[in-house]
Structures are given as structure tokens and as C-alpha cells.
Structure 1
């Protein structure tokens, strides 16, 4: 009985073994093609961007200081004691308005003396002109008389020669007529010389006197300017930002009296690296940010040469009513490069090589590029023709991988 039981168990185990041997290879053979088919159909899903040709720009901000576009340290144009200061600091003045007065006593005294000196020079000139006319009249009369006598003597001498040739007079008479003619000629020459000498002397004297009148006129003009300079005026309209003198103090010509600022136009001064300053030509538009508001500004000056801090100073004219001396922010836009524009995350680097993956015929193709400009978030590159570029780039993506573009 027990033997039959062992026999049945052995037969059952044998049948199970045969079934396992028969089924095992067939299952492996049926699963192998399925695994091969899965390997062939494997692809990586990616998103892409299309690079567009354009200009890469970036907007940056830096600190700036506001100052009047025109400012002047106005100095005293005369020396003297300050009588009064007519304008307080912070007050607005018009062009030509008197800001302070100096003691004019000395200048007014010099003006009166200059007026008297001019009057005296004119009197001297008029007297000399009358004297010259009186002294030249007799000499002119003497010359006219001598010329008349010469004319008569010459006529008689000429007639005498004709009579002598005809034998009507003797030689002695002709000699007398000739002597009379020579004497009249000498008298006329002498009278002419006397008149010319007197005219030259009178002309020189009058020229000297006229020069004295001109000098007196110049001195009078200087004296009038000196009186006017006792009033120190504003050279242009603006605000008296600061006064440097007080009533009762003595000031010298050229000593600064007050500081005048034209606050109708302000300038924003700021400093940039040389490469950024070179990218902002004069006339470029920038924005000034102050008090939460934005004001237009135009770049008007550039030092072009870096200072000791290796930065270039630029100045922009600002429109709008702003307080001078305040601090503000300047926002400016730089043109970095012209090329194919991409997100910066689309770039990959390997050593010194930079590349992107473009999608071509369902494959990821590694394509080298050269970076022309970089803002940190976007780049301009060259080396692309417009094929879609993978972005974002999966970490497992390799050159030649099969990809599926999804939205």
C-alpha cells in the first residue's frame, strides 16, 4: 500500500517537470520580441523653441546725483565794503537782478573826476583849433600876396625879354626885371614854407589834443563801469543757493559773493564701465527714477576717459521739476548683440565648447554655437539656421537620441 503511494507521487512530479521544461523556452521566445520592440520604440519627450533673429538688449539701473545744468560762483567785480545783501539764500532771482551792493563812494568820486578830465580835454582841443585858425590866416594871406607879386614880376620879366630882343630896352633894364622876378619867387617860396610849417605844427598839436580827449573818454567809461560794478547782479535767472559775504565785510574784486543755480534744467550724473558707456551714444534716451516716478532724460555728456575708479562719467539732462542735490536711479537699455535669440538655459557646455540640441528628423542633433551676447536669461548666438532648439534640455538627452516634440 505504501509502495503504491510513493509510485503515484513520483509520477506526478515527473509530469510537472516535463510540463515546466516544455513551457519555459516557449515563454522566453515569446517575450524576447516584445522586449526588442520596446527598445526600438523608446523616445524622449521634449519641448522646443524656435530661434529668431533679432537684437539682444538688457535694461540696467545705476545710481545718479541730480545737479543744476548751469551753476555759477558769482564773484564781486569791484572792491569795497558790502552795504547790503538784498536776496536771501533759496530765493529765485531774474537775470540782471541786484543781489548785493557795495559802497559806491570811491567809485562815484572817480566818476566825477573822469567827467571833469574829459571836459578839460575838450576845452583844450577847441582852444587849439581856434588858435590854429587865427595863426594860419596871416600866413595864408602872406602867401597869397607873394604869389600875386610873383605873377606880376614874372609877366614883366617875360615882356622885358621880348622888348630886349626887339632892342627896345637896354640890358641893364632886363637884368633888373630878372632880379625882381627872382626876388618875388623866393618870397613866394618862403611864404609857402612858413604856412606849411605852421600847418604841420598845428596838425601835430591837434592830433595830440584829440588823443587826450579819447583817453579821457576811455577813463570816463571805466569809471562808469566801476560804479555799475558796485551792484553785484545775477548773470542769469536761477536760485541763490548760497551767499558768501555779509553786510559790513570788505570784498576784493574777483572774490566769490554768492552761488547761483539754474534749477529750471537739471542734470543726472552717473558712472558706468567703459564698455557700457561706449554702447550709449550721446542723445540716447534713459529714464530717471525718483520718488517712485519716472522722468525722461537725454544723454548729453560723456567723459569717455575712465577715472581712477575705472568708470566713465556720463551726464543726462532731465525733464521735470526735481530737487537739485538729490539721489536717484538711472535706468538704461543696452544693445548687446545681433544674432539668433534663445533662452540661456538652452545652452550646454563641454570644456570650451558650447552647443545646443536641435531637432532634426526626429533626432536630437548636437549643434555647436558661438555666444555673441548674454543677459543671464537670454543669449544671442551664431551657428543656427532656424531649426527648433530643445528647451528645457533633459539631463539624459544625448546626441542622436530619438525625441518626440510635445507642447
Structure 2
């Protein structure tokens, strides 16, 4: 037993001594060669593209009719009936509600009677004037005939007197008769003219009374028509403010009418974004899972109290007024070399990219012109592909190998 143990210990000792003996070095590079060998980093690259950096944005918008009116009652009275329901589409001139026309109809009948009375008074005055002027006209004609006779006799008398056929006394009598006839004619003419002036003034006054009565009649007819409150234009009755049995006054709002044939979307943007959407810019309105084309038509240009600019776009499509939607628009942020945002590196205040030139990564400073979060427009990339994605260990001047 002791001999067996002795042999075992001898075998173990031999094996241990053999493991501690010198080894043969495997052929390999020397430490100096390993330190001088260049380190090459495999990278992927992107090619910068010159272009305009755009960004798609969305904003909340409210859809409203391009034309809306608070239609008021043009007469006072009790509401007899409302002929349409809220949300109904009506044509221009269609009756929406009726007021009690009883008082207006009484006023209309009285106005009609006033016109008839004024016309009767005028006609009677015209007949009276014609009857009163006829004798005066006859007197004037008679006086004129007498004057013509007296004038002829006086001229003949003067000729006879010059021939010595009559005496001075007879000529004087003929002259006196002529003067008397002339005075009678002048008096008759004045009486007729005075009567004509008076008649003309009376008739003019009566004609004014007829015109006044006619104006009152027209007003009464409008008052009757105003008991029917009509739609001033075609559209949708968005809201009704009165009920049957209520009393309304002239001018009190009766219903709200919206022209839904043309819709507008109002939205607010920061001033710098609003400035990039001039009038005529095309947008998209998103509502109910659908997209509707829209065009910018108005802009306040001046920020409001919330420092946002309000814009209005005309919408093409059939949407419910008052709906809340999303407006989607494209902004042109900057023009320059377009790169993925991940290609940029920042150190302090310096921003740079790695451009592959001659098999090396060259650190190149750039100026960021625009940023969408995923893409950037930069200035300063002169040429060559840009490393993207950028390995964390990559440094300026490192040897690189471009891989696909």
C-alpha cells in the first residue's frame, strides 16, 4: 500500500514539472507591429441633397359658414307659427315664421281708404276749378273782343279827324271808349290769372295729399309683408330663437341662417409659421377620417392676445358648421444641404458632421438652417458623403471603410 502511494506521488510530480517547462511561441505579429497598424472603422454614409426642407404640421380648426346672418323680425307681433325646424335647408325668400297680421291688415285697409278719399278730393277740386274758370275765361274773351272793336274804331277816328271828317269831341269819345275796353280786358285777364293760380295751388296740395296717402299705403303693405319673416338667402336654419305664442318686437332676432355652400376653417398659428402661409396657400382639412382641400383666404397678420395669428381657409366639401377639425399644412423651413438629424454632432456651441474624404472621417463644421426633428437643412457641407449613423467612437481623421 505504501509503495503504491509512493508511485502515485512520483507520477503527479513528473506531470507538474512537465507543465512548468518552457513553451514554443506561436508565430504572430510583434508588439511593435500591432501598435503601428491603423485602426479602420466601418461606417455607412448618406449623400447630402440640395433642396428645401419642409415640415408637415397640424393645428386645430373650427369650421364655420362663410356667410351667416342673425335674421331679425321686421315687425312686432305674436308668433303664429314656425314653419321650419332647426337644421332645415331653406331657399332664398322662403317663409321661416309668421307673425299675427291682424293689426297690419287693419292699417292696410285704412291706408287704402285714405288713398281713395284723397283721390276723390282731387277729382272734385279739378271739376270745381274747371267750372269756376269757365266764366272768367268767357269774360276775358268778351273783353278781348270789345277791346279789338274799340281799338279799330279809335284808329279809324284818328284818320277821320286828320281828314277833318269828325270833330275833336268825337275823337276824344272814341279814345275814352278804347281806354275803357282796354281796362276791362286787363281786369278780366287778371281775374282769370288769379283764379288759375289759386286753383293750381289747391290742386297741387291735393295731389300731395294723394301721394302721401299712397306712401302710407305702400308702408302698410310692407308691414303686412313683414309679418312673414323670410330667409334673406339660401342656407341652413342653424338656430331658432322664438316659439309660437311669443311676442316679438321689430328688430328682435328670430333665427340664425348659415350659408353652407361656402365653408371656412379658422385656425391660429405662431407668427413665423403664419408668415410662411401666404394667401392662396393650399391646405388639407381633416374631419371624420376624410381629407378636404382648403385654400388660405384671410390672415390677421397681427398676433392676438395669445400671440398667435388667426388664418381663415376656404374649404371645399360638405361639412357640418361648427365642427372641430384638424388643418394640415406644409411649411418650407429652409433651403440647404438636407441630412438626417442623426448625422449631426454637437460639442459646446459647435455643430459638425463627419465627411468621408480620402478614406478618412473629416470633422466638418456646419450651420443648421432648419430642423424638423428627423431631418435638417445645413450650410457648410462642401462635398463628399456624410457618415450616418455616427459611431460613438469615431474621431476626426479616423480611417473609415464605407459599407452598404
Question: How does the TM-score come out when normalised to structure 1?
Answer: 0.81
Residue from 119, 128, 147 that aligns with 1:150: 147
Is the counterpart of residue 175 in structure 1 residue 172 in structure 2?
Answer: yes
Give the secondary-structure state (helix, strand or coil) at the position aligned to 2:369. Answer: strand
Greater shift in the superposed pair: 314-323 or 123-132: 314-323
Residue from 185, 188, 201 that aligns with 2:185: 188
Structure 1 residue aligned with 2:85: 88
Q: What is the CA deviation profile of residues 217-244 of structure 1, one whole-angstrom value per residue up to 9, with x for unaligned ones?
A: 1111111111111122233333333332
Residue from 249, 254, 257 that aligns with 1:252: 249
Is the counterpart of residue 130 in structure 1 residue 138 in structure 2?
Answer: no
Q: Is contact 1:43–1:402 with CA below 8 Å preserved after alignment?
A: yes
Distance 1:207 1:361, change over 3 A: farther
Structure 2 residue aligned with 1:215: 212
1:374-389 aligned within 5 A: 374-384=371-381, 387-389=384-386
1:256-295 aligned within 5 A: 256-295=253-292
Is the counterpart of residue 336 in structure 1 residue 333 in structure 2?
Answer: yes
Distance 1:269 1:173, change over 3 A: same
Distance across 1 between alignment mates of 2:394 and 2:155 = 138
Q: Is contact 1:289–1:295 with CA below 8 Å preserved after alignment?
A: yes
Structure 2 residue aligned with 1:241: 238
Aligned CA RMSD, in angstroms, stands at 3.0
Deviation of 1:109 (Å)? 0.5
Distance 1:44 1:193, change over 3 A: farther
Structure 2 residue aligned with 1:38: 37
Distance across 1 between alignment mates of 2:212 and 2:364 = 89
Corresponding residue pairs, total: 377
Structure 1 residue aligned with 2:117: 120
Distance 1:169 1:395, change over 3 A: farther
Distance across 2 between alignment mates of 1:361 and 1:394 = 19
Distance across 1 between alignment mates of 2:81 and 2:205 = 44
Distance 1:132 1:395, change over 3 A: same
Q: What is the CA deviation profile of residues 296-322 of structure 1, one whole-angstrom value per residue up to 9, with x for unaligned ones?
A: 223333333322222222233333333
Deviation of 1:334 (Å)? 1.4
Residue from 312, 319, 325 that aligns with 2:316: 319
Which runs of 5 or more residues in structure 2 are unaligned? Answer: 1-27
Distance across 1 between alignment mates of 2:169 and 2:372 = 127
Is the counterpart of residue 309 in structure 1 residue 309 in structure 2?
Answer: no
Give the secondary-structure state (helix, strand or coil) at the position aligned to 2:302. Answer: coil
Residue from 93, 101, 106 that aligns with 1:104: 101
Residue from 46, 50, 59 that aligns with 1:49: 46
Is the counterpart of residue 78 in structure 1 residue 70 in structure 2?
Answer: no
Q: What is the CA deviation profile of residues 52-72 of structure 1, one whole-angstrom value per residue up to 9, with x for unaligned ones?
A: 332221111122223334333
Q: Is contact 1:366–1:399 with CA below 8 Å preserved after alignment?
A: yes
Question: How does the TM-score come out when normalised to structure 2?
Answer: 0.81
Deviation of 1:369 (Å)? 3.9
